[in-house]
A = this chain, B = another copy of it.
Amino acid sequence: MKRLIYPSPVEISKALERPSAGIGDIDIIVKEVLARVRAEGDVALREFSLKFDGFAPASFKVEESSFQEAEKHVPEKIRDAMRAALASITAFHTAQLQEPETVETTKGVKCWSRDLAIEKVGLYIPGGTAPLFSTLLMLAIPARLAGCRDIILCTPPGKDGKINPLILYTASLCGVTAIYTIGGAQAIAAMAYGTESIPAVCKIFGPGNRYVTRAKELVQLEGIAIDMPAGPSELLVIADESANPSFVAADLISQAEHGTDSQVIMLTDSRAMMEKVQREVEEQVMKIGRSDIAGKSLANSSLILLPDLDECIRVSNLYAPEHLIIATYNPYIHASAVVNAGSVFLGNYSSESTGDYMTGPNHTLPTSGYARSWSGLTTNSFRKRVFFQEVTARGLRVIGPATELLAGAEMLEGHRNAVSVRLKYLNDEQN
């Protein structure tokens, strides 16, 4: 890790730069995939699946029997741990189901809202070595709580041509309504446009490689909603001398192991802490299986010594980290000054990894500084708010004349007239 001792603003900006991945020729490939799946449906799906992922199942849809079998292949201990995660995540996401406002804004003008489920949602879980069942928990639980009618999952199979039993078990645990063995940009295309075997959805959620991410961005331009823009994972730790250097180092490494483009940053007001953490990182990183990956992303990452903790918070807000650990004497004081962050962990025992599985809040969070304007996923990410209003005759007598005036000032006569015909009717009736 790089060390910066009381850096200048320019040096800070440079250290906070995110590793960038160009679009390159991804766009050409993804656009072709989208266009062809749209035009040709399953035929194109099969072709791209064979070409990019090396498989093309007879049927994309996973049979009901595979769901039931999956449980047998998941050790009981893991099932117990998953059910514990399910309970925490459900508790937190249920609390998000608040009753929206009802307001009589004027006598006779009643206004209210209802949060209605998005009927059809599509979840994507990438393949690869690690089966990301925790992300499936984080997507499917709020989808079910929101009341989505169709919750479909697309995920590519492993080398054996089958979907990992951990994923199948999680899907059955969380109420996923259908699973399709398909990955990549072609899976996103299928969920956006629909094919003979895969239904179109209204909103697409979940992480993926650069092709998947780009496909989501491009279908969004066509009016398919997506969860949020994606980027590499990141962690910022603010630690003072009360922190435990071994814990801090373990947290930095845990985020660094996600991918070579991950970024971790420690801000501290203690030079001694900075040095201890650096030694701990060097020792601990050698002991994990993914030390190659972690080593590369740590090379992109910095330990930064700043004059005081207020300055640490200021720099953190500038960076807008996906994950923020505050390991200080009084983390509550510093947490109250947070302006931009995805998810914040307070104190020495709140490891970021507890948040990935067990604490309860969603782990699908804004990266790359998007925390300045985006939220992490909530149950409401699977719903939309609809407004309602009822204007009675009495209410119209109050707000009608002002509506006529304002519509007139905007030179929208038709808008004005829609009130005028009603007020005239009411006046005629009265006389």
Q: A-side interface residues toward B, CB under 8 Å?
A: 77-78, 80-82, 84-85, 87-88, 91-92, 95-96, 98, 100-103, 105-106, 109, 111, 113-114, 116, 118-119, 129-134, 166, 202-203, 217, 220-221, 223-225, 229, 244, 246-247, 250-251, 253-258, 284, 287-290, 294, 331, 335, 338-362, 365-366, 368-376, 378, 384-393, 395-396, 399-403, 405-407, 409-422, 425
Query: Is the CB–CB distance between B133 and A396 below 8 Å?
Result: no
Given contacts A85-B406, A103-B95, A133-B410, contact A372 B284 (CB under 8 A): no
| Interchain nearest-CB distance for A172 vs B (Å) | 16
- Collect the chain B residues with CB atoms within 8 Å of residue A220's CB: 220
- Collect the chain B residues with CB atoms within 8 Å of residue A414's CB: 250, 253-257, 288, 290, 294, 353
- 5 closest A-B pairs by beta carbon, nearest first, are A95-B101, A361-B387, A105-B360, A353-B415, A81-B402
Contact of A425 among B85, B244, B384, B417 (CB under 8 A): B244
- Collect the chain B residues with CB atoms within 8 Å of residue A335's CB: 388
Contact of A84 among B357, B361, B366, B402 (CB under 8 A): B402
A111-B359, A223-B229, A357-B403 known; 10 new pairs, CB 8 Å cut-off, are A81-B402, A92-B105, A119-B340, A133-B406, A225-B370, A250-B418, A335-B388, A345-B391, A358-B402, A359-B389
Query: Is the CB–CB distance between B81 and A413 below 8 Å?
Result: no
23 contacts between A and B (CB under 8 A): A78-B406, A88-B106, A88-B399, A91-B103, A92-B103, A96-B101, A119-B339, A130-B410, A134-B410, A217-B221, A223-B229, A247-B418, A257-B413, A288-B417, A290-B412, A349-B391, A350-B389, A350-B391, A360-B389, A361-B389, A366-B384, A371-B386, A375-B385
Query: Is the CB–CB distance between B407 and A353 below 8 Å?
Result: yes
Given contacts A82-B406, A223-B229, contact A390 B350 (CB under 8 A): yes
Q: Secondary structure at chain A's binding surface: helix, strand, loop or mixed?
A: mixed
Provide the bound-state CA to CA distance between A229 and B331, in Å. Answer: 39
- Collect the chain B residues with CB atoms within 8 Å of residue A415's CB: 254, 257, 353, 356
Query: Is the CB–CB distance between B250 and A402 below 8 Å?
Result: no
Query: Is the CB–CB distance between B405 and A359 below 8 Å?
Result: no
> How many identical subunits does the complex contain?
2
Provide the bound-state CA to CA distance between A356 and B80, in Å. Answer: 53
Given contacts A95-B103, A166-B409, A371-B386, contact A358 B399 (CB under 8 A): yes
Query: Is the CB–CB distance between B386 and A118 below 8 Å?
Result: no
Contact of A386 among B105, B225, B342 (CB under 8 A): B342
- Collect the chain B residues with CB atoms within 8 Å of residue A116's CB: 338-340
Contact of A349 among B106, B384, B392 (CB under 8 A): B392
- Collect the chain B residues with CB atoms within 8 Å of residue A370's CB: 223, 225
Q: Across the interface, name the chain B residue whose C-beta is closest to A379.
A: B101
- Collect the chain B residues with CB atoms within 8 Å of residue A387's CB: 342-344, 355, 361-362, 365, 376
Provide the bound-state CA to CA distance between A350 and B341, in Å. Answer: 42
